[in-house]
Amino acid sequence: MFNKDLLKGKGILVTGGGSGLGLAMARRFAELGAAVAICGRNEEKLKKAVAEIGAAGNPVAYAVCDVRDYDAVTAMYQKLREELGEINGLVNNAAGNFYCASEDLTPGGFRAVVDIVLQGTFNCTQQLGKYLIEHKKPGSILNIVTTYTQTGSAFVLPSACAKAGVEAMTKTLAYEWAEYGIRVNGIAPGPFPTKGAWQRLMPSKDVEQMYLKRHPMHRFGNPEELANLAAFLLSDMAAYISGDVVVIDGAEHLQGGQFNFLTQLMPREQLKAIFQAMHPKKKQG
């Protein structure tokens, strides 16, 4: 579907690009012609990822950087610009999350997640925006949020609050920076099995099976599916899309529909028989 040069001329930084969905996106951007930069806190992980991303033959660079630290982010952009050239794309993907009953959260636990997700996204976004505006260059920013920014979610209060803040930032800056040619969008992923997410959020194989049973497609997402959506949104094919958050979750976020629970109760044929018995005179379909 995509031209191999779709992202040629783009220099894209993926925060947390050394593993998980960040790495899947970074790899895909490089395959589509972008110069790609990744950052994270673990240098060994970044070096390994760079080798993988570089297989596509396009320039790639990394910087060890904790996105919570504004000055470290300044130094990171400087290093990456020297090594890679222009950065005009950013994916705010780095995140932390953990289960905790909200009454048991400590201020430090709450702050740890908010600092990475919300403050980190501000640090990376504001500094890139400032640079692009000063140099009169267009750019594109993509924020990885979650579907529970809209509904909230039990046991992940810091993440829900921080990601909702990032979603507000997405819409605020999309409008404010539109006149500078800077687009800001979001992606809200459903469940994508990554080592990081599964270690923190999928306690056992039994819970995984229960999760799959209640998911409307009965499957998890494939990181390549998300990477393709990210590539499209960062590309010039999406030049008129800004301020949007695209959900990619196989319709999972719609499970609150009033009668959706019926699909979980019994096989569809059995449901149809019940509907027929309730309305015997009406021919359906």
Q: Cα(48)–Cα(51) distance, rounded to whole angstroms?
A: 5
* Residues 242-281 close enough to bind ligand NAP by CB under 6 A: none
Q: Which is nearer to ligand NAP, 138 or 152 (CB)?
A: 152
Question: In this chain, which of 42, 151, 260, 276 binds ligand NAP, going by CB under 6 A?
Answer: 42
Among 6, 13, 15, 158, contact with ligand NAP (rule: CB under 6 A)? 15
Asked if 192 and 255 touch (Cβ cutoff 8 Å), the reply is: no
* Residue among 7, 95, 162, 182 that touches ligand NAP (CB under 6 A): 95
Query: Between residues 19 and 140, which has the closer beta carbon with respect to ligand NAP?
Result: 19
When the beta carbons of 33 and 233 are compared against ligand NAP, the nearer one is 233
Those residues whose C-beta lies under 8 Å from the C-beta of residue 255, and which sit 6 or more positions away, are: 214, 216
Residue from the set 7, 12, 116, 156 that interacts with ligand NAP by CB under 6 A: 116
Q: Of 12-20, 50-58, 74-82, 263-271, which part binds ligand NAP (CB under 6 A)?
A: 12-20
Which residues is 91 bridged to in the sheet? 14, 142
| Distance separating alpha carbons of residues 137 and 177, to the nearest angstrom | 12
Catalytic residue (choose from 70, 99, 131, 148):
148
Q: Is residue 67 at the binding interface for ligand NAP, with CB under 6 A as the rule?
A: yes
Residues within window 173-212 making contact with ligand NAP, judged by CB under 6 A: 189, 191-192, 194-197
Least Cα distance to 227 among 144, 161, 147 occurs for 144
> Does 93 help bind ligand NAP (rule: CB under 6 A)?
yes
d(CA 187, CA 244): 8
Closer CB to ligand NAP, residue 161 or residue 197? Answer: 197
Binding mask 136-155 for ligand NAP (x = CB under 6 A): --------x-x---------
CB-wise, 67 or 184, nearer to ligand NAP?
67
Shortest distance (Å) from residue 118 CB to ligand NAP: 11
* CA–CA distance, 112 with 21 (Å, rounded to integer): 21
Phi, psi (rounded to 5 degrees) for 226? -70, -40
Q: Is 148 in the active site?
A: yes
Using rule CB under 6 A, residue 18 touches ligand NAP:
yes
Contact status: 66 vs ligand NAP (CB under 6 A): yes
| Number of residues in contact with ligand NAP under rule CB under 6 A | 31
Q: CA–CA separation, 191 vs 147, rounded Å?
A: 10
Q: Output the smallest distance, CB 62 to ligand NAP, in A.
A: 11
Interface with ligand NAP (CB under 6 A), residue from 27, 28, 68, 183: 68
> Of 203, 212, 216, which Cα lies nearest the Cα of 247?
216
Q: Which residues are catalytic?
A: 148
Give me the residues that bind ligand NAP (CB under 6 A), please: 15-16, 18-22, 39-42, 45, 66-68, 93-97, 116, 120, 144, 146, 189, 191-192, 194-197
